[in-house]
Structure 1
Amino acid sequence: MRVSADRTVCVGAGLCALTAPGVFDQDDDGIVTVLESAPAGDDGTAAREAGLLCPSRAVRIDEADA
Protein backbone atom coordinates (compact mmCIF):
# COMPACT_ATOMS: atom_id res chain seq x y z
CA MET A 1 0.00 0.00 0.00
CA ARG A 2 1.15 3.51 -0.81
CA VAL A 3 -0.55 6.57 0.73
CA SER A 4 -0.46 10.02 -0.82
CA ALA A 5 -2.42 13.24 -0.54
CA ASP A 6 -3.16 16.02 -2.98
CA ARG A 7 -2.63 19.13 -0.88
CA THR A 8 -4.06 21.33 -3.65
CA VAL A 9 -7.57 19.90 -3.23
CA CYS A 10 -7.52 19.38 0.55
CA VAL A 11 -10.23 21.42 2.29
CA GLY A 12 -8.83 20.93 5.79
CA ALA A 13 -11.72 18.90 7.20
CA GLY A 14 -9.24 16.91 9.31
CA LEU A 15 -10.98 13.56 9.05
CA CYS A 16 -7.77 11.94 7.86
CA ALA A 17 -5.78 13.10 10.89
CA LEU A 18 -8.59 12.11 13.26
CA THR A 19 -9.08 8.69 11.65
CA ALA A 20 -5.41 7.78 11.08
CA PRO A 21 -3.21 9.98 13.29
CA GLY A 22 -0.21 7.73 12.71
CA VAL A 23 -0.44 8.31 8.97
CA PHE A 24 -1.78 11.86 8.56
CA ASP A 25 -1.42 15.24 10.22
CA GLN A 26 -2.40 18.80 9.33
CA ASP A 27 -0.10 21.78 8.86
CA ASP A 28 -0.74 25.19 10.42
CA ASP A 29 -3.26 25.96 7.67
CA GLY A 30 -5.15 22.70 8.24
CA ILE A 31 -3.89 21.08 5.03
CA VAL A 32 -3.13 17.35 5.07
CA THR A 33 0.41 16.09 5.55
CA VAL A 34 1.36 12.44 5.06
CA LEU A 35 3.46 11.14 7.95
CA GLU A 36 3.76 7.52 6.79
CA SER A 37 3.54 6.74 3.08
CA ALA A 38 3.59 2.95 3.51
CA PRO A 39 1.53 2.16 6.61
CA ALA A 40 0.96 -1.41 7.72
CA GLY A 41 -1.34 -3.18 10.15
CA ASP A 42 -3.83 -1.01 12.02
CA ASP A 43 -2.38 2.17 10.50
CA GLY A 44 -3.00 0.75 7.03
CA THR A 45 -6.59 -0.07 7.92
CA ALA A 46 -7.11 3.41 9.35
CA ALA A 47 -5.54 5.00 6.24
CA ARG A 48 -8.01 3.12 4.02
CA GLU A 49 -10.90 4.42 6.13
CA ALA A 50 -9.50 7.96 5.98
CA GLY A 51 -9.38 7.70 2.20
CA LEU A 52 -13.06 6.80 2.13
CA LEU A 53 -14.01 9.62 4.52
CA CYS A 54 -12.07 12.44 2.87
CA PRO A 55 -14.70 14.91 1.56
CA SER A 56 -12.42 16.38 -1.12
CA ARG A 57 -10.86 13.05 -2.13
CA ALA A 58 -7.40 14.47 -1.38
CA VAL A 59 -6.30 11.23 0.30
CA ARG A 60 -5.27 8.50 -2.10
CA ILE A 61 -4.58 4.86 -1.31
CA ASP A 62 -2.79 2.78 -3.94
CA GLU A 63 -3.03 -0.89 -3.07
CA ALA A 64 -0.83 -1.90 -6.02
CA ASP A 65 2.30 -0.52 -4.34
CA ALA A 66 2.17 -3.12 -1.58
Structure 2
Amino acid sequence: MEIIVDRAKCTGLGICESLAPSVFEVDDNGELVVLAESVSGADLDDVEAAVAGCPTEALRLRA
Protein backbone atom coordinates (compact mmCIF):
# COMPACT_ATOMS: atom_id res chain seq x y z
CA MET A 1 0.00 0.00 0.00
CA GLU A 2 1.23 3.47 -0.89
CA ILE A 3 0.98 6.31 1.63
CA ILE A 4 -0.48 9.53 0.25
CA VAL A 5 -0.04 12.77 2.24
CA ASP A 6 -2.07 15.88 1.47
CA ARG A 7 0.52 18.45 2.53
CA ALA A 8 -2.06 21.24 2.36
CA LYS A 9 -4.08 19.51 5.10
CA CYS A 10 -1.24 18.23 7.30
CA THR A 11 -0.61 20.37 10.36
CA GLY A 12 2.17 18.25 11.89
CA LEU A 13 0.28 17.28 15.04
CA GLY A 14 2.21 14.01 15.25
CA ILE A 15 -0.66 11.61 15.90
CA CYS A 16 0.49 9.51 12.97
CA GLU A 17 4.00 9.45 14.42
CA SER A 18 2.70 8.22 17.75
CA LEU A 19 0.66 5.46 16.10
CA ALA A 20 3.23 4.37 13.50
CA PRO A 21 6.67 5.64 14.58
CA SER A 22 8.55 3.40 12.16
CA VAL A 23 6.74 5.04 9.21
CA PHE A 24 6.03 8.65 10.21
CA GLU A 25 8.14 11.34 11.83
CA VAL A 26 7.49 15.03 12.44
CA ASP A 27 10.73 16.96 12.02
CA ASP A 28 11.95 19.96 14.01
CA ASN A 29 10.10 22.30 11.64
CA GLY A 30 6.77 20.54 12.23
CA GLU A 31 6.82 18.93 8.79
CA LEU A 32 5.72 15.33 8.32
CA VAL A 33 8.42 12.99 7.03
CA VAL A 34 7.26 9.66 5.61
CA LEU A 35 10.00 7.13 6.29
CA ALA A 36 8.57 4.48 3.94
CA GLU A 37 6.80 5.13 0.64
CA SER A 38 4.80 1.95 0.90
CA VAL A 39 3.85 -0.39 3.71
CA SER A 40 2.80 -3.96 4.18
CA GLY A 41 2.86 -6.64 6.81
CA ALA A 42 3.41 -5.62 10.41
CA ASP A 43 3.41 -1.85 9.75
CA LEU A 44 0.14 -1.86 7.82
CA ASP A 45 -2.12 -2.08 10.90
CA ASP A 46 -0.29 0.84 12.52
CA VAL A 47 -0.47 2.94 9.35
CA GLU A 48 -4.18 2.21 8.94
CA ALA A 49 -4.69 3.39 12.52
CA ALA A 50 -2.69 6.55 11.74
CA VAL A 51 -4.79 7.23 8.63
CA ALA A 52 -8.01 6.74 10.61
CA GLY A 53 -6.70 8.85 13.50
CA CYS A 54 -5.55 11.85 11.46
CA PRO A 55 -7.79 14.73 12.58
CA THR A 56 -7.19 16.73 9.39
CA GLU A 57 -7.70 13.72 7.07
CA ALA A 58 -4.32 14.42 5.46
CA LEU A 59 -3.39 10.74 5.10
CA ARG A 60 -4.72 7.98 2.91
CA LEU A 61 -3.61 4.65 1.52
CA ARG A 62 -3.65 3.58 -2.12
CA ALA A 63 -3.31 -0.02 -3.25
TM-score interval, normalised by the smaller of the two chains: 0.7 to 0.9
- Quick one: which amino acid aligns to residue 49 of structure 1? A
Which portions of structure 1, spanning 4 or more consecutive aligned residues, are displaced by more than 2 angstroms?
A: none
- Give the structure-1-normalised TM-score: 0.83
Secondary structure (helix, strand or coil) at the match of 1:48 reads helix
Structure-2 separation of matches of 1:28 and 1:6: 19
Aligned pairs, how many?
Answer: 63
The residue aligned with 1:41 is: 41
In the alignment, what sits opposite 1:8?
Answer: 8
CA distance in 1, matches of 2:29, 2:10: 11
Structure 1: segments with no counterpart, 5+ residues: none
RMSD, aligned CA? 1.2
| Aligned mates of 1:24, 1:30 — CA distance in 2 | 12
| Contact 1:24/1:35, CA 8 A, preserved across alignment | yes
Does 48-57 or 33-42 show the bigger shift? 33-42
- Residue of structure 1 equivalent to 2:30: 30
1:17 matched to 2:10? The reply is no
SS at match of 1:18: helix
Relative to total residues, which structure has the larger helix share, 1 or 2? 1
**TM-score normalised over the length of structure 2:** 0.86
Residues 3-38 of structure 1: CA deviation (Å, up to 9, x unaligned): 121222111211101100111111222221111111
